[in-house]
Amino acid sequence: AEEEEAGEEGAKAGPSGAARPLKLKQASKAKGAPPKGSTAATIQYHKYDVAGAATWKAGEGVPYLFLARVFGTVEDEPKRLRITELMANAFRTVLAVSPQDLLPVVRLTTNKIAADYAGIELGIGDSIMIKAVAETCGRSVAAIKESLEQEGDLGIVALQSRGKQMMMMKPKPLAVRGVFKVLTEIAMASGKDVQTRKKEKVKQMLVSAQEKEAQYIVRALQGKMRIGASEQTVLVALAHAVALSEMEAKGKVAKGEALQEQLAAAEATVKQAFCELPNLDLIVPALLEHGLASLHEHAKLNAGIPVKPMLAKPTKGLSEVLDRMGQAGRFTCEFKYDGERTQIHMLEDGTVKVFSRNSEETTSKYPDIVAMLPKAMAPGVKSFILDAEAVAYDRVKKTIMPFQVLSTRKRKDADVDDLKVQVCVFAFDMLYLNGEPLLRKTLSERRDHLRASFTPIEEQFQYAISSDANNVEEIQDFLQESIKGNCEGLMVKTLDTDATYEPSRRSFNWLKVKKDYLAGMGDSCDLVPIGGFYGKGKRTGVYGAYLLACYNEIDEEYQCICKIGTGFSDEALQELTKSLDEHRIEQPRKYYRLPEGGNLTPDVWFEPKQVWEVLAADLSISPVHTAAIGMVDPAKGIALRFPRFIRTREDKGPEDATNATQIAQMYNDQACTQSKATKSSVDDDDDW
């Protein structure tokens, strides 16, 4: 049945089932100086045969083989801009021949079957996948494991194993829509014998797989496509494809600089829409029905759909704050609370939803917030989105408690009557009110809306304590107040000039001043443990040190940045050893960029699952570590010096860790300020 599901909307592959080769041509360089600041600035689309590249008839479903071939071409292409071009051309063909399949094509390309906030993820464990591949290909589990150790990629093992099989009958071709349907069913499956049912669905897709289809089906199921195309690249390719398709439909395709300007505008439109409404299930249909020109009217911020929060640039001194803010007119300082960044939504029907900074729904973690909010709302408030911090609060001592206390709260299905850790919500921004997005209003205006829409409730709902200071002495005094109040430092924000809310962007219009920086404790990063070293002496029986990595979002790989063994309590070492042992793997993943020499080979390897906050003294160029390799030094990476464990970041996924670009920027900022004989600036990646 599942074989029919995966192929039920498939297209004819041509005579005798043979598919025509994919026609994705190299771009030529057009005349004219393209505008700077966009991907379109150096990409040129020339004579690509949009309809001729299709291996199926108009109106039929897109064959999965077409998409698998695109994936193969993209994976073999080292140049990012060329990758964008290849993907955009493939999307153009889908738009021209089978536009009804654009959404599943884009979804499969991002390897996300639903929006992040939906909590529906692929990622079947190795044991089930190995059994499915073995049973499909007529090989033993032991043989598949042996091949996996050699290749390091179960997708390639599946491809090789399928290639050795003789087929009595040619299977029905897989279709994009059918594959997407089965992947969704697998991700949603639950109940009795769920693992067996998942395995059978996998097998039935693999039986029908041709050429590289098996490779990418297996990778998709493992949640690791690794073709070198990030979500942002897919958005750019989608924007270019729609823009070019609209021009072609009108018979007016711009050339040279005019084309680049239109592509850059399309890119900005789609990126902005995705920032405000991060759900392709809504954006792609809006593009198909209304086009680029009207996208902003049909894909905008809405209660119930979380946006990525606006982030702040860090500073290491109050003089730097004034240097940066001095040209911005009025600004405000707010206490920086040691809690969890929280986005609170209320829908028109009264439903309240709470989301983490990572767009994970945490409503069931905070039943007390849900129950409290209606009491704080002013009359006439029907719907809203708040940006706030949920902070552990001792109602007996009337004091803020550290994040470590909040982290002990039950993560899901908490009962409001059984809560041992109480929280107070400190609200500091309002993004949406009564059906109207407020993102393009100034912070001063948004703050007025916030304060008019809620009434503080002691120990439960408060506005972030703020001061519209304008000199070093006032800011210094306010910083000391924040520290006495058990806060981490200050947030400094422009009120009127360049004061709009920019989702997912780290902006100099928001600055953070943390007490750790002023004390000279160094940089803060969020890093992923990928390996463990057995402990000795007092640490016998646990991992005594770990190999940590940052994430390179461009190359989709984890790059090692330090070995860490300090900052751990005995209890933390026990807990981390136990939790990481659940994610042990025999060999490092192919997408780990490992140390070049040195005594840094771990005793045990881990899947990238956890994210840790780490403080360090500074950063240095390293001939051994590979973080941001090639970004600052052509052949060397960057390492953290004297790293110290702070805490586990449960609100972050591995791909949300501090990325290689940020590491390179941190180093450059540090080098720049050190050359001026001042303290180095920093760039950490906490909730801000």
Question: Would you name the residues annotated as active-site residues?
Answer: 336
Sign of CA dihedral 536, 538, 543, 545: negative
Cα–chain center distance at 393? 30
Amino acid in position 33: A
Which residues contact residue 482 at a Cβ distance below 8 angstroms, ignoring those fewer than 6 apart? 335, 336, 465, 488, 489, 490
- Indicate the DSSP class of residue 675: H
Burial class (CB in 10 A: 0-12, 13-18, 19+), 25: middle
How is the beta sheet containing 311-314 ordered, strand by strand?
311-314, 506-514, 489-494, 331-336, 466-467
CB atoms within 10 A of CB 199: 20
Amino acid in position 127: S
DSSP 385-444: EEEEEEEEEETTTTEE--HHHHTTS-SSS--TTS-SS-EEEEEEEEEEETTEE-TTS-HH
Pinpoint the alpha helices (H) of 251-346.
256-276, 280-290, 295-298, 318-325
Nearest of 229, 222, 234, 149 to residue 590 by alpha carbon: 149
- Return d(Cα 528, Cα 223) in angstroms, integer: 17
Please answer whether residues 465 and 485 qualify as being in contact, where contact means their C-beta atoms are separated by less than 8 angstroms.
Answer: yes
Angle at 16 between CA 14 and CA 19, to 5 degrees: 40
- The residue with tokens 């408060």 is 462
- Return d(Cα 176, Cα 56) in angstroms, integer: 12
619 by DSSP, 3-state: which?
Answer: strand
Nearest of 513, 522, 524, 521 to residue 335 by alpha carbon: 513
Nearest of 9, 103, 89 to residue 56 by alpha carbon: 9
Question: Within 13 Å and on the Cβ side, how many CA atoms surround 428?
Answer: 26
Query: What H or E segment, with its residue span, contains residue 564?
Result: strand 557-564
Angle at 448 between CA 444 and CA 452, to 5 degrees: 170
Question: Within 13 Å and on the Cβ side, how many CA atoms surround 521?
Answer: 16
Can you give 506-547 as a three-state secondary structure string?
EEEEEEEEEHHHHCCCCEEEEEEEEEEEECCHHHCCCEEEEE
Instruction: Give the E-state strand segments of 122-216 in sequence order.
Output: none
Nearest of 274, 116, 251, 65 to residue 653 by alpha carbon: 116
Relative to beta strand 423-433, strand 461-463 is parallel
